[in-house]
Amino acid sequence: MINQSTLDKLNAIAKEDHGNNKQAFKRVVIKLGVKPVKHFPKVKDKTGKTMKDESGNDLRSETSDGYTYTFSDFETSQVVKVVLDKLYDIKVMNAYLISGLGYDIRSGNMIFIDEDVKITEYK
């Protein structure tokens, strides 16, 4: 029989967020006019789970890791937010090919890409 301590450990492992829900994206997007904003990543604990404040909100780092750019998907007009390491010369109304790993946030009609991001002008 499995003791309670072992069950607790197994339950803790099962609840860990291993980032497995990220998916690969490759989209043609248009830069509309939204200015990039500094991105502050979520603070994670040693298991990789996002830490929360006393109000239940995600904790954010005090150090920026880049900038969040906002685009519109060419095919669907879905909002595509991309985290880039620095400010780039991205021109309004130009098309770009964006690829990387991120999340499809259907409730917000948005794609958020923040890992292995590659951007090239689409010609």
Domain residue extents for the chain:
21-121
pLDDT at position 8? 59
Which residues are bridge partners to 80 per DSSP? 71, 111
Closest CA to 87 of 22, 39, 46, 121: 39
Cα-based distances in Å from 76 to 28, 30, 41, 54: 10, 11, 27, 38
Using an 8 Å Cβ cutoff, are 92 and 69 in contact? no
pLDDT value for 10:
53
Supply the pLDDT for residue 3.
57
Q: pLDDT tens digits, the chain, 123 residues: what are they?
A: 555 565 555 555 544 544 458 999 999 999 999 999 999 988 888 887 888 888 888 888 888 899 999 999 999 999 999 999 999 999 999 999 999 999 999 999 999 999 999 999 998
Rounded to an integer, what distance in angstroms lies between the CA atom of residue 87 and that of residue 89? 7
pLDDT of residue 114: 93
At residue 74, the pLDDT reads: 94
Task: Please tell me what DSSP assigns to residue 109.
Answer: T
